[in-house]
Chains A and B, each alone.
Chain A
Amino acid sequence: MEKWQDNRAWFLVLPVFVIVAFSAIIPLLTVINYSVQDIFGPGQRVFVGAEWFKEVLGDKRLHAALWRQFLFSGLVLLIEIPLGIIIALTMPKKGWGASASLVTLALPLLIPWNVIGTIWIIFTRPDIGLFGATINKLGMSFDHTASSLDAWVTLMLMEVWHWTPLVALLAYAGLRAIPEAYYQAAKVDGASSWSVFRHIQLPKMRGVLTIAVLLRFMDSFLIYAEPFVLTGGGPGNSTTFLSIYLVKIAVGQFDLGPAAAFSLIYFLIILLFSWLFYQALQNAGKGEG
């Protein structure tokens, strides 16, 4: 059969192309444009080449923020992924319990991010906060505005509370999609519950877990609103993550050139790590006997 061809079909993808152009391609090109120029004001700009990239890559404070960011994202993944899987495994499979736990889990995901910051500021206040005051009453001093460690603990608690449900919901969906026959066959084969997890549930969750890891990595690597509301990047610079530092440069100091160069590097790091995670998860568990 002859293939029917008509180039007018391209018009059908035009709307998508226009949307993508305005939402991604044009802003990205603008950023690239900024990153190679020194901008003094409207109409006053000088081409500087790779100058800003050199400056940004040599910035000590940026290095510190980058390591802080890796530590944060690493901890987020190490805590949220296993915790999410455990929650999904213990959730009821059917009946009212299943619906109730799904709704309860989804609640934190429905709250606006800056509101979450505010909730946790109050929750952890050493004088009136339920959590902060209780800890202080127990004799441990706890103040996220004064101690870096306390600020990190608060931030991690908030992050885990906010986003573990997403991982749990994804893992739960993955678990529910496993046909009953797998569990029946495993019973007949005499498999232990660990074997069932290791050889049936975990491999079958590969797809959803890949999504969960990628989403949690990207989101936590981009975190801005919560630490901005909760600690403003402090105490000192202890919770100044990449995006907070970036906003300080771009909006606070109005250094558009360095900020643009910074953004591009930021973008490339996320792209690289997402790709690495994706490759690792796609190949995990495929080489064994």
Chain B
Amino acid sequence: MARIDLKQIAHSYHDGAQKPEDFALRRVHESWDDGGAYALLGPSGCGKTTLLNIISGLLTPSRGSVFFDGQDVTALPPENRNIAQVFQFPVLYDTMTVFGNLAFPLRNRGVDTEQIRQRVNEVADILDLTTHLKKKASGLSADVKQKISLGRGLVRSDVAAILFDEPLTVIDPQLKWHLRCKLKQIHERLKLTLIYVTHDQVEALTFADRVMVMHGGKMLQAGAPEDLFEKPEHKFVGYFIGSPGMNFLSCILDGNIARVNGAAIELADATAALAKKAGQKLEIGIRPTYLKVHSNKQPGSIAATIKNVEDQGSFKIVTLILNQQTLRARIPEDQPIPDKKAWLSFPTQKIRLYADGQLLRAQGAS
């Protein structure tokens, strides 16, 4: 069990890197509580795996330090850190049985045979692997293999945190859900700190209590799933989370009216007040779910042209053009959609304002 603190971590794969572009990880300063479920979310190459390997000790950061329960472990190798790591592709020792695989970390640490047997049986029970114990590890299906990889982490009683590096990539879609539930269950039962790296927002948002969105080696926002959805602090977070991503329209502010190429969108007074101190390059952001599409003119609505409609089964995604800017709206399956022209209304409480890509927030609010 451990609380993990990352202090001013930066990492570069080149020696003597100075320029910010040389760094795979630019500056990460985070604290993770004992027993929490965390997700690192971001596109490929954003530095999330680098960060994970720094926590597990497979990499030593170029700058900064890692603390487990207040103790500096930056220089410790992985085997002395009491962490377990599950990789993207299942790692199995093919020549051993499933039992041998699960027992391997304990045997390496010189635990006595009786205790090994007991622990392995316990873990096999949690992971539904009991029937597989005597089988050869090679030739099993990907989900069982991944459970064995996880089991090798759980089998150590002293393990402080389990790190997952996109563990469900090679699993069939229908089994993904099953395995994710299993992970949740294990987390609730064993109260371990879990850190989960993924580029799949659904995985991150359903798995974690707190999601960290990373991009270009920086941590853009850390927060609960609903915060990331309702108040993306950075345009990238808005794009990356939600399906489809947030709409952004560049606008000019005129009192509490945002003008988008001539069309006027009314803002809440509090939102408009935020913009007073901000610079010139303003954008309004709104989630496709909150955008209302009407067949005829409503008070305060704006005319837009419908470009296309995608039927996703339980909902529809409408792409619209509003004065040369493209917008997407997510509307219920049963709502009729006009042919060419539609009227959009923007609920004032759901509109966010961005200056230079950053969310404008009230002073003192977090």
Contacts and interface: CB of A to CB of B under 8 A. Distances in A.
A285 B109 CA distance: 23
B240 interface: no
A288 B138 CA distance: 13
Interface string B67-106: 0000000000111000111011101011111011000110
A237 to B, nearest CB: 44
B94 A181 contact: no
Given A189-B152, A199-B96, A182 B91 contact: yes
Contacts of B136: 286
Interface string B37-63: 000000000000000010011100000
B108 interface: yes
A191 B95 CA distance: 15
A288 B108 contact: no
Contacts of A199: 93, 95-96, 104
B149 interface: yes
Contacts of B91: 179, 181-182, 184-185
Contacts of A185: 85, 87, 91, 149, 152
Interface string A170-182: 0000000001011
B104 to A, nearest CB: 6
Nearest to A199: B93
Nearest to B105: A189
Interface residues on A, range: 20 to 34
Contacts, number: 64
B95 A203 contact: yes
A185 B148 CA distance: 12
A184 B52 CA distance: 12
A285 to B, nearest CB: 5
A285 B108 contact: no
B88 A187 contact: no
Given A192-B108, A195-B108, A286-B136, A187 B79 contact: yes
A204 B91 CA distance: 12
B95 A190 contact: no
Contacts of B93: 199-200, 203
A184 B87 contact: yes
Contact of B58 (A187, A195, A200, A289): A187
Interface in A253-289: 285-286, 288-289
A138 interface: no
Contacts of A195: 104, 108
A191 B109 CA distance: 9
B108 A179 contact: no
A167 B91 CA distance: 27
A182 B91 CA distance: 6
B108 A189 contact: yes
Contacts of B56: 188
B100 A289 contact: yes
Contact of A179 (B53, B89, B153): B89
A190 B56 CA distance: 12
A188 B79 contact: yes
Contacts of B57: 187
B298 to A, nearest CB: 55
A199 B105 CA distance: 13
B189 to A, nearest CB: 22
Contacts of B85: 184-185, 188
B108 A187 contact: no
B95 A288 contact: yes
Nearest to A288: B95
A286 B136 CA distance: 8
A139 B91 CA distance: 56
Interface string A153-180: 0000000000000000000000000010
Contacts of A187: 57-58, 77-79
A277 B149 CA distance: 33
A179 B170 CA distance: 15
A70 B80 CA distance: 50
Nearest to A185: B91
Contacts of A285: 95
Given A190-B79, A190-B105, A286-B136, A184 B58 contact: yes
Contact of B109 (A190, A200, A203): A190
B59 to A, nearest CB: 10
Nearest to A184: B58
Contact of A191 (B58, B99, B108, B153): B108
Contacts of A203: 93-95
Contacts of B153: 188
B97 A289 contact: yes
A199 B104 CA distance: 10
Nearest to A202: B95
Nearest to B79: A190
Contacts of B104: 189, 191, 195, 199
Interface in B117-137: 136
B146 to A, nearest CB: 12
Contacts of B149: 185
B96 A181 contact: no
Given A190-B108, A190-B109, A181 B87 contact: yes
Contacts of B99: 289
27 contacts: A179-B89, A181-B89, A184-B53, A184-B58, A184-B78, A184-B87, A184-B91, A185-B85, A185-B87, A185-B91, A187-B58, A187-B79, A188-B56, A188-B84, A188-B85, A188-B105, A189-B79, A189-B104, A190-B79, A190-B105, A190-B109, A192-B108, A195-B108, A200-B93, A203-B93, A286-B95, A288-B95
Given A179-B89, A188-B79, 19 more contacts: A181-B91, A182-B91, A184-B53, A184-B58, A184-B91, A185-B91, A187-B58, A188-B56, A188-B58, A190-B79, A190-B109, A191-B104, A191-B108, A195-B108, A199-B96, A203-B94, A204-B94, A286-B95, A286-B136
In the complex, the 9 A-B pairs of residues with the closest C-beta atoms, listed nearest first: A190-B79, A185-B91, A181-B87, A190-B108, A189-B105, A199-B93, A285-B95, A187-B78, A188-B78
